[in-house]
Amino acid sequence: MTTIFFEKVIKPKANLGETNETACDEAAHFADQQLKMVEYWLENRQWLANDALSIAEPFAFAYLEQVKYIDFPLERYPRLEEWFGRLEGRESTARARAKIQPYLEAVFKR
């Protein structure tokens, strides 16, 4: 996801050249392989590392949140999408987003 985010979002905003579509395709293939494993892991679990919310969730959530900016479809991973929705709906997520919103606006207005 990070490679795709860099190529499709950061690179154009920073005038660092053309998007490398080959790198994006390779990264999307790698992400698909990894997300299939997470999807399988979530088959009988609600959380990534424990039977309850843990530190693993915000780390993975921050990584996956990039999908909003790169049009990476999560529909192929319904359990992951459900997990993502649970985290997205938390009050703590809303508070964190409110704190970083001015920075996001500054980056994406350019």
- Per the prediction, the chain carries an average pLDDT of 92
Q: Which domains does the chain have, with CATH numbers?
A: 2-109 (1.20.1050.10)
Q: Measure CA 91 to chain center.
A: 18
For residues 34 and 79, is the Cβ–Cβ distance under 8 A?
no
**pLDDT tens digit string along 43-88?**
999 999 988 999 999 999 988 988 988 988 899 999 999 999 999 9
Among 59, 13, 20, which Cα is nearest to 38's? 59
Give CA separation, 63 vs 15, 16, 22, 84, 110, in Å. 23, 22, 21, 11, 23
Indicate the SS3 state at residue 85. Answer: helix
